[in-house]
Amino acid sequence: MLQITDRRLAGKNKSIGNRERFLRRHKEQIREAVKRAIDGRSIRDIEKGEDIHIPKRDLSEPVFGHGQGGLREVVHPGNQEYVQGDRIERPKGGAGGGSGKGQASDSGEGEDDFVFSLSREEFMQVFFEDLALPHLVRTQLAEVPEWKSHRAGYSSDGTPNNLHVVRSMRGAIGRRIAIGASSRRELHELQAQLTALQEGPAADDPVTLGEIAALVAQIAALRARVDRIPYLDPIDLRFRNRVRVAVPTSKAVMFCVMDISGSMDEGRKELSKRFFILLYLFLTRHYEKIDLVFIRHHTQAQEVDEQNFFHARETGGTVVSSALVLMEEIIRARYDPSQWNIYGAQASDGDNWHHDSGRCRELLNDKLLRLCRYFAYVQVAEEEQNLWVEYAHLLDANRHFAMRKATSVAQIYPVFRDLFKKQEAAA
């Protein structure tokens, strides 16, 4: 039996193996704790680590204990309550004191929580698990390419699994022919001389016999030299060679469209911001080559930077179509659909100028959905407004269009995961 011991120094991360095992074993509890942490966070702090609390009951494991057994007599000093033969009752509650949050309990029962600190990387790994942009198609070679190995001829060194037997044997035969050619030519000449002497009239002459003996010795030495040529030499080996070449990778742009009209109060704006901050973190974490375009609108639409998109306080009436028109103009000007995977996400309360909602549906159906790989609409109000009603007509004919409602902070995360969950290969 071969036993391998890893004695490499782990530096400051000596417990990294235990952390990974803990994350794997208690994956569901950690996922729920991360979800609770997101619901109570400010969007500005969403990317930090977190101290998560896991109930002790979720960490318990069955164990075997060895009792002392037999009869024992124990003297407890200071005993003024019991005498020999009394039966001592078990303490009520059994699990000890503290409650999960360190508060007193009037029932005699409680349970301590296990506190585990997730780093920023671990927190984001759990947070973005199983998410992916839907229908992503690799359309063009990006500036940061992916690499794939391809066969490129043969080399004289490599691993045994890449050995090409036919090429190696062909090289061995050529080497043996080249090295032994002169010796074989000389051997043929000496063999002809020996035959001439043996068949000549002076074959029995002592001098001729001496020459014949010398030729026989010379021929034997040449044959031994030819026989010593190795059948297969390391220089004959040929291995399949592989080189890395760039392959097409994902090149995408995401349009974030947010309603900031007067009907969008601070609570609804906060819901929209939370949805887009999740989308922003998700995209920047998973896709290196992706552009983000931020569009905010009231009666007029404007392309802004990330800071103004999330924190500007401008407001006004509602004309949603202005944002969709601006989105199409930006696509035509900067993002060729034959070279870019185009995605759109829109957040609004759905309260739009009545005559404008039909135009929004036409813009999506006739123009934007023809250009986009995927478009998601999130309504941050419970009541189905006119924009929701118009958009609902697009669902049956456009599988790459999705609609969801999110009316509370607790619904943002499930809605986001539902919109951007990984799809099966058949999709």
The answer to whether the beta carbons of residues 16 and 122 sit under 8 Å apart is no
Secondary structure element (H or E) that encloses residue 104, with its range: none
* CA distance readout (Å), 80 to 83, 86, 207, 241: 8, 12, 131, 88
The answer to whether the beta carbons of residues 316 and 385 sit under 8 Å apart is no
Residues 277, 280, 286, 288: what is their CA dihedral angle, to the nearest 10 degrees? -150
Residues 6+ apart with CB under 8 A from 341: 133, 136, 137, 139, 250, 251, 252, 253, 373
Q: What is the pTM of this model?
A: 0.54
The answer to whether the beta carbons of residues 398 and 369 sit under 8 Å apart is yes
Q: Give the C-alpha separation, 226 to 111, whole Å.
A: 87
| Alpha helix (H) residue ranges in 128-265 | 165-199, 206-227
User: Which residues are registered as beta bridge partners of 115?
Assistant: 53
| The pLDDT of residue 197 is above 70 | yes
% the chain with pLDDT above 70: 74
In this structure, of 66-70, 78-82, 355-359, the range with the lowest mean pLDDT score is 66-70
Q: How crowded is the C-beta side of 313, counted as CA atoms within 13 Å?
A: 1
Mean of pLDDT values over 181-186:
86
| The pLDDT of residue 329 is above 60 | yes
The residue that leads in pLDDT, 10 or 338, is 338
pLDDT at 60: 59
Radius of gyration (C-alpha) of the chain in whole angstroms: 40
Domain parsing of the chain, residue ranges: 18-54+115-127, 160-241, 252-419
| Alpha helix (H) residue ranges in 26-163 | 27-39, 120-127
- CATH code that applies to domain 252-419: 3.40.50.410
| The pLDDT of residue 232 is above 80 | yes
| The pLDDT of residue 149 is above 60 | yes
**3-class SS of residue 387:** helix
Tokens 């802004």 — which residue? 304
Q: Which of 231, 312, 279, 288 lies closest to 418, judged by CA?
A: 279
The answer to whether the beta carbons of residues 277 and 178 sit under 8 Å apart is no
pLDDT at 89: 75
Mean of pLDDT values over 144-171:
82
The residue that leads in pLDDT, 53 or 212, is 212
Q: Give the C-alpha separation, 424 to 422, whole Å.
A: 7
pLDDT at 426: 39
Mean of pLDDT values over 338-361:
87
pLDDT at 325: 94
**3-class SS of residue 283:** helix
User: How far is residue 201 CA from its own chain's centroid?
Assistant: 91
Mean of pLDDT values over 18-36:
75
Q: Give the C-alpha separation, 345 to 327, whole Å.
A: 11
| The pLDDT of residue 307 is above 70 | yes
The residue that leads in pLDDT, 114 or 172, is 172
Residues 6+ apart with CB under 8 A from 417: 130, 131
pLDDT at 331: 94
| The pLDDT of residue 250 is above 80 | no
Secondary structure element (H or E) that encloses residue 296, with its range: strand 290-297
| Alpha helix (H) residue ranges in 237-344 | 266-286, 306-311, 321-334
Question: Per 3-state DSSP, what percentage of the chain is helix, strand, and coil (rounded to 5)?
Answer: 40, 20, 40
| The pLDDT of residue 425 is above 50 | no
| Alpha helix (H) residue ranges in 287-345 | 306-311, 321-334
Count of beta carbons in the 10 Å neighbourhood of residue 215: 18
Q: Which of 325, 318, 386 lies closest to 358, judged by CA?
A: 386
| The pLDDT of residue 178 is above 90 | no
Q: What is the pLDDT of residues 351-384, one digit of tens each?
A: 888 788 889 999 999 999 999 988 999 998 888 7
| The pLDDT of residue 208 is above 90 | no
Mean of pLDDT values over 246-274:
79
Which range, 1-10, 46-55, 108-117, 234-243, is most confident? 234-243
